[in-house]
Structure 1
Amino acid sequence: MKEKILHKASEMFLNLGFKSVTMDDIASELGMSKKTIYSHFPTKLKLVQSTTFFVLDNVNEAICSILSADLNPIKEVFTIKSIVNNQLKNEKSSPHYQLQKYYPKIFKQLKDKQFESVNECVINNLKRGIDQGYYREEINIDLITRFYFSGNMSLTNNDIFPLNTYGMSELKDAYLEYHIRAIATEKGLQTLIKILKK
């Protein structure tokens, strides 16, 4: 039952936003009483927190399956972007931004946990990219990893990138192209151009 609530709540929060979805809305969608939801999640705050980490775990699981596919490093980052977009429903309701605005403590916890998982993933991607000749040898891996993470986080800021002007998928594509062009060798650029043409 708890898992069922998390699935439905995450779907609604991602599509409609954390602020606008009420416990009544979730109960109605699930065809159950609000009391049943409260027996598993005593407050909306607790449900938002549980849902946030439930979604993060699902995203991380999807990323792990891509990492095990042993794609070239540039193809890997674009594949991860597509899978994450799919998991987050293209962030139509800007969940990151709403989380930061209405649930700052949960947002801080999420950001810390995201950095932890993204950090390892990006470092491995950069190292493989250098070893395989896709990325330049002289790049500062620690610095690039931090640039990548902070840049990615800023894409969800509605003040900088209003959703009615910039689609999240296009925004992430443009950011990835920017990131790869900054670190790629000639071989990496040729690979990037092939991916962009597709």
Structure 2
Amino acid sequence: MTFLETILDELLHIFKREGIEANTDEDLISKLDIRQSTFHELFSSRENMVKQVILYEIEVNNRRQAEMLAKATNPVDEIMFLLRDGIEAIRQVNPVYIADLRKYPEAWQMSLQNVADNNQHVNAEILNRGILQGYFRKDINLQLVTKIILEQFFMMINPASFPPAKYDLSEVFRSIYLYYVRGICTDLGGKLAEAYFAKNNM
């Protein structure tokens, strides 16, 4: 890990734990234990800092996802791994982080675009293989299903739909996707999904 990656990793953890706006640049410099001159050499502005952190988060998440999916033995496993990873990821994030990120339009759009692109590609590929192998129903519309999955995610992180102060976002995520997965599974896929739910207490 390079020096910059180390700094971005520390910033990402701070942001997810406390939100982006909880600390001034001076606070962050102190927490990172670096010189002010070094900080300003790395980041030309607050917006630039947030953008770099988001680019780093996207890279880390996509790499982790690829490593995780490589351990799956079938498409149902892959969907279950994605669900569990999504639930755990949301549990580790202070909702303030998502609210603060919206204040940085370029970084926010980059994050949403990655979710959209990744969701469309990964889910469509998994679902297609699952259909061919008999785990998912043959009558599902791949394009429509992947679009619905994506829109459900955007609905979930919309504070107007699910205010974080009122709803546990990880439970919202679980409620949306677990029941949806059951609906697209064949009997064979459903048995694997139920076994995974029971084993992992999802």
**Count of aligned positions:** 197
Provide the residue aligned with 2:78 in structure 1.
Answer: 76
Residue aligned with 2:92, SS: helix
How many Å apart are 1:127 and its aligned residue? Answer: 0.7
How many Å apart are 1:89 and its aligned residue? Answer: 5.7
- Does residue 31 in structure 1 map to residue 28 in structure 2? no
Q: 1:95 to 1:53 in 2, by over 3 A?
A: same
CA contact (8 A) 2:69 2:78 kept: yes
Provide the residue aligned with 1:153 in structure 2.
Answer: 154
Provide the residue aligned with 2:7 in structure 1.
Answer: 5
CA contact (8 A) 2:16 2:93 kept: yes
Q: 1:97 to 1:188 in 2, by over 3 A?
A: farther
Any residues of structure 2 matched to 1:130-169 within 5 Å, and which? 130-169=131-170
Residue aligned with 1:19, SS: coil
CA contact (8 A) 2:91 2:169 kept: no
Moved more, 28-37 or 3-12: 28-37
CA contact (8 A) 1:15 1:93 kept: no
* In 2: Cα distance, 1:187 partner to 1:196 partner: 15
CA contact (8 A) 1:59 1:87 kept: no
Q: 1:64 to 1:153 in 2, by over 3 A?
A: same
* In 2: Cα distance, 1:14 partner to 1:72 partner: 32
CA contact (8 A) 1:27 1:34 kept: yes
Unaligned runs of 5+ in 1: none
Q: Of the candidates 53, 62, 65, which is equivalent to residue 64 of structure 2?
A: 62
Structure 1 length-normalised TM: 0.89
CA contact (8 A) 1:10 1:55 kept: yes
Any residues of structure 2 matched to 1:56-135 within 5 Å, and which? 56-86=58-88, 90-100=92-102, 102-135=103-136
Q: 1:166 to 1:138 in 2, by over 3 A?
A: same
Q: 1:38 to 1:30 in 2, by over 3 A?
A: same
How many Å apart are 1:53 and its aligned residue? Answer: 1.3
* In 2: Cα distance, 1:144 partner to 1:95 partner: 29
CA distances 1:25-54 after superposition (whole Å, capped 9, x unpaired):
221112122321111111111010010111
How many Å apart are 1:118 and its aligned residue? Answer: 1.9
* In 2: Cα distance, 1:89 partner to 1:27 partner: 27
- Does residue 16 in structure 1 map to residue 18 in structure 2? yes
CA contact (8 A) 1:78 1:176 kept: no
* In 1: Cα distance, 2:88 partner to 2:53 partner: 17
- Does residue 182 in structure 1 map to residue 183 in structure 2? yes
Q: 1:60 to 1:88 in 2, by over 3 A?
A: farther
CA contact (8 A) 1:18 1:98 kept: yes
* In 2: Cα distance, 1:161 partner to 1:71 partner: 34
The two structures, once aligned, show a CA RMSD in angstroms of: 1.9
Residue aligned with 1:57, SS: helix
CA distances 1:77-134 after superposition (whole Å, capped 9, x unpaired):
222233345556632235334322x112321222122211221110111012112212
Residue aligned with 1:148, SS: helix
